[in-house]
Each structure stands twice: as structure tokens, then as C-alpha cells.
Amino acid sequence: MSRTPDTWILTAQCPSLLGTVDVVTRFLFEQGCYVTEHHSFDDRLSSRFFIRVEFRAPAGFDEDGFRDKLAEQVTPFDMQTELTPPGYRAKVVIMVSKADHCLNDLLYRQRIGQLPMEITAVISNHPDLAHLAEWHGIPYHHFPLNPNDKPVQERKVLQVVKDTGAELVVLARYMQVLSADMCNRLDGRAINIHHSLLPGFKGAKPYHQAYQKGVKLVGATAHFINNDLDEGPIIAQGVESVDHAHYPEDLVAKGRDIECLTLARAVGYFLERRVFLNANRTVVL
């Protein structure tokens, strides 16, 4: 569902308590706000409550006053809230290596306004894709990676993230393993994409390995990064059927398409404030 340009987004999470839905929706009613979309979820296993509401504000809406009154109302519920104004475009840094399909797709979706974001920088350990960023007028940072001194390169990356004020880092086929320190610093705000082949194939040319085994499904997984390689909380997945007529190059092409779509979907969920971290899992509303 696409967001209308005049709506605010209110998200919140808290322990599971009686009255959590009411305290949010009643407050919006009392402030004269019209709810256009509402989703909530109560996780009975973790005893956590999550809610996302889009609403239209009345004329003369006082954002600061709204925030102050909301804080008073939700304090008894230990509720953490976030308010996103209409037209907000999050600042995003993209990291890539040599494969260009995911980067190109995200740049295009930003350009046509499909993803409400401002790509502030593209960072790579290779110079190959500089032309793509330059064509879009986006700074391109080439930070070569010395395997014997990875912290130096990662400090440069983090400095760009800090200097640009980016709230999201997208690993759009960035083919390097991030250090534990880097993962901790970007916890909850860095999304990675990788192929999902059944059974799993690791190492060089996974699609060629899959062809040799006659796989019948190919897909992609977009997830938050963490210290466990490719095992962070999953945000979105895509899958398609294949058969004996798909040669290795066909599997690679189909895999590229699924990676682009799945990554764009995950980034869109993040930008629209639909993703909540719930321990090692996600709630996507």
C-alpha cells in the first residue's frame, strides 16, 4: 500500500498491557486526527505490543504540542513512540562492490519517487560503479579494503554515515563481511541482501552450484545485519520456481531480479516505518 503525501505516521511499541490500542487511537481522536491506516500486533510469546498508524492532521496542527501530550498519555505504558511527518525523506547510504543491479534499481526508485529517501552517498571497495553515482549527482567514495587492516576502512565508512546524517545503510551486494564492531554500530539500521537457494550454496558461483543440483526454487532474503553472517532478523523474502530448462545464466538473471525486488521491498518497509525489531525477529506492519 502506497502512502498518501499528506499523512503522518505514528509508530509505537511497549509491553503487552490492557488499553494499548485505546491509548493511541483515542488520543488521535481527541486531537482531531483522522486515521487512514492502522495495524497492530501483540506478540504473546515476547509479551510485546506494536502499532503503526497513518493519520491526517487537522488544520493548525501543533507538532510540538502533539508530541508533548502524547508522551504524557503513553508514559504509564512504558511506550516508545516515533512520529514521522508528511513528505519525510530519510537519508540513506548505499554500499556496493562490483555488481550494479541492486544499486541501479535503488537509484531509479529514488529518482521516480517510489522510495521516499535521499541517497547521500555510495560507498564501495571498488571504483567500478562510480559512473552510476556520478550520473545521479551522488558522491561516490572508493575505500579500498586491506584485509590486514579492515578497521581503517570501516572507520572511513562510519565517518561518511555520520557526516551525511544517514539513518539507514543498505548493503546492495556489498561483498565483504563486516566486523562485529561495525555490525554493533549499525544495529537496526543496516539492511543486507543475499540469494536464497534451496538447498543452500555458499562460496563462488552459487547459481552454478544450484544448477548442478537441479534446484527448483531460487529467491532472495533482505535482513538486518548482525554478527552472524547472513542470519540477521529477516525483513522480506522473495522466491520463484525454476526447472530443468533454466541454465546457470538463467538462474543468475532471475536471481538478480528477485534480489532487486526483495531489497527494494525491505527498504520501503523501513522508510515507511513498518519494521519493528522484536529480539532476533522482525514485526512488519
Q: Is 44 exposed, middle or buried (0-12, 13-18, 19+ CB in 10 A)?
A: exposed
In the set 43, 100, 181, 230, the catalytic residue is 230
Is 230 an active-site residue? yes
Q: Is 189 exposed, middle or buried (0-12, 13-18, 19+ CB in 10 A)?
A: middle
Taking the C-alpha atoms of residue 228 and residue 246, their distance in angstroms, rounded to an integer, is 32
Task: Please state, in angstroms and as integers, the Cα–Cα distance from residue 99 to each residue in 90, 115, 245, following that order.
Answer: 24, 21, 25
Reported as type and span, the H/E element at residue 146 is none
The closest alpha carbon to 170, from 258, 126, 106, belongs to: 106
Reported as type and span, the H/E element at residue 170 is strand 168-171
Cell numbers that stand for 143 in this block: 575505500
Residues marked active site are found at 230
